[in-house]
Structure 1
Amino acid sequence: MACKNLYYVMQMMTYSWYMGKLQKHLPGVTFPGRWWDPVNTEEKKTFSIEQFLKHNMHRPVFVCIGLTEGDPSWKRSFSRWPWGVCEQLVPVKTPFDPEKWAHKTLELYNWSQPNDSFHPGSWERVANEEMWQARMKTAFFLFDLAENMEKEQQARLYELSYNLYCHIVDAQVDYPANWDKNLALAAEGLLRSGGRGHGLDSLLSRSIRHFSRYLQREPTDPQSKAIRSIITHLRKERDKLRDRQKG
C-alpha cells in the first residue's frame, strides 16, 4: 500500500538500483526518470526535484533536514512550509492561511529530552538541538514572512509570531538561548507595528527582558553591541511611555 505522505531520501535517489527497489514498495509514487540527476534530464532520462514534485502533487510531500543546494529547480514552482523538524513542499500558488497553519503545527511536538543534555560535539546533542529548534520553526517562519509584508498584513504576522513565541517560551524552564533573542525580536517587531492591542509597556518590557537574558547566556555574540544599543533605546522608550501615562 502506498504511503499517504511521501518522505524521500534525496541522496539515495541518485542510485538506479535504489530507485528500482523503491518503486516496488511505493506503487502510488511517480518517479519521472531513472534516478535523480538535474543535469541534462532529457538526455539522461533522469529527473530534477521540481519534476519529481510536479508528478506527485496528488499527495503531501515533506523534506527533512533541508534540500540539496545542487538542485534549486523546485524554487520555481514550490514553497517550503514548516512542519516540525521537516517542511512541507507546496505549489507556490497555494493560499497560505497563517492562523490555520500555526494551529496545525502547534502540537506536533512530544520531544521530552531535556535541552542541553548531551556532551558537546556528540551526534546526540546535534539531534536534540534539531528537535528543540523545530518547536520554533513556524514562529520564525511567520516572523520572516512578516518582514516582507506591508502594514496590516505585517502586523498580523508579527502578532501571530509573537503569540507563538510566548506560548512556547513560557511553557519551558530551560530552553535554547536563541529563543530569548527571537522572542525579543518578535516583541519589538509587533511594537513597531503598533501593538495590535497588546500593551506597549508589556511589549517593551518583554523585549528588554529577553534581549537582556540572551546576552547573559550568549555574551560573545558578534551582535552584542548592537543588542545592548537596542536595549538602551527600548528602556528610554518605556520610560517616556510611563512618563506620559503619569502625566
Structure 2
Amino acid sequence: MLTYEWYLPKMAKHLPGIYFPGNRWNPVEGILPSGMVMFNLYHFLKVNKHKETFVCIGLHEGDPTWKENYSLWPWGSCDKLVSSEIVFNPEEWIKLTRNIYNWTEEYGRFDLSSWEAVANEEMWQARMKTAFFIFNLAETANVPTNMKVQLYALAYDLYKEIIYLQKKHPVNWHKNYAIACERMLRFREIDVNPEVLLSETIKHFHLYVEKVQDDPQRADILEALRHLRRELQGLKKTKRV
C-alpha cells in the first residue's frame, strides 16, 4: 500500500508514533521531479526502531534493503522483523510464541475453490512455521554440532506435538515431520530411541506418499522408505540377539 501516492497522506495520521521518512515507499531512494521523497524499507525500519514491526503475507521482493540488518522470525501467521544484532534463542522464542496461535476452523472444511479455503490453508500452515524455521536453521546455520543437535531436537518436538494434537491437518506435515525424525537419527547425542525414530519416519513418509502423487521427490521418498524399512528390520534383529 505504501507504493500508492494517496496512502501516506490519508493514513499516516492514523498511525501515531510511526515515522515515515518520505512521501512514498520505493526500493530506490531519491527525490522525484515533483519533490516527492522516496524511502526504502531499511530506512523506514531504521527510523522506527522504537516500534516492533511485524510482516504479514510477506515482504515486497523488490526491496531487499532490510536483509543485511534484519531477520524474519515466525510470529503466528505473520513474521517479526528483528535486528540481526539480536541472537536467536530458540527455547525462549518457542515459549514466547506458543500460545499466540488461536485459529479454530477445522482443516479442509471449505470448498477448495473458495477464498475461505485459501485463508484456512494459510492459517493451518502457520501452525508449523516455528518448527520449520528452527529446522531450517539447523540445516543452514554455521553453528557447532551441539547447537545443531539442539535445534533439530526442538524442531522434532514441535513437529511431533502438532502432528499428534490434530486429527486432520495439511498432508505436507507428514513429510516435514518424517524428515525431522530422519535428521534426528544422524546424531548419537539425541536422547530418543532410534527404533521409535525409524518407525515414525517410515510411518509418516508412507502417509505422505499415499496421499500425494505429484511430489517431484516421490520416487526418492519411496526409495528412502525401502532403505529405512531394511534399517528397521536390521535394528530389530540386533536387539533380539
> Which residue number corresponds to residue 229 of structure 1?
223
- Aligned partners of 2:40 and 2:63 also within 8 Å: yes
Counterpart residue type for residue 24 of structure 1: K
* Larger CA deviation: 14-23 vs 48-57: 14-23
Q: 1:212 aligns with which of 195, 206, 215?
A: 206
RMSD, aligned CA: 1.4
Q: 1:89 aligns with which of 57, 81, 84?
A: 81
- Aligned partners of 1:151 and 1:193 also within 8 Å: no
Q: 1:170 aligns with which of 164, 167, 185?
A: 164
- Aligned partners of 1:154 and 1:193 also within 8 Å: no
Structure 2 residue 125 is matched with structure 1 residue 133: yes
Percent identity among equivalent residues? 46
3-state DSSP of counterpart to 1:72: coil
Q: What does residue range 140-155 of structure 1 map to in structure 2 within 5 Å?
A: 140-149=132-141, 150-155=144-149
Distance 2:25 2:203 in 1: 49
3-state DSSP of counterpart to 2:6: helix
Structure 2 residue 104 is matched with structure 1 residue 112: yes
TM-score, normalized by length of structure 1?
0.91
Shift of 1:17: 2.5
Structure 1 segments unaligned to the other structure (5+ residues): 1-11
Distance 1:212 1:239 in 2: 16
Shift of 1:191: 1.2
- Aligned partners of 1:143 and 1:158 also within 8 Å: yes
Structure 2 residue 48 is matched with structure 1 residue 56: yes
Counterpart residue type for residue 196 of structure 1: I
> Which residue number corresponds to residue 29 of structure 1?
18
TM-score, normalized by length of structure 2?
0.93
Structure 2 segments unaligned to the other structure (5+ residues): none
Runs (4+) of structure 1 exceeding 3 A deviation are: none
> Which residue number corresponds to residue 179 of structure 1?
173
Counterpart residue type for residue 41 of structure 1: G
Once the two structures are superposed, residues 177-220 of structure 1 have per-residue CA deviations (whole angstroms, 9 ceiling, x without a partner) of 00000000011111112361011111111111000000111133
Counterpart residue type for residue 19 of structure 1: L
3-state DSSP of counterpart to 1:81: strand
Counterpart residue type for residue 129 of structure 2: K
> Which residue number corresponds to residue 7 of structure 1?
none
Higher helix proportion, which one? 1
Aligned length: 236
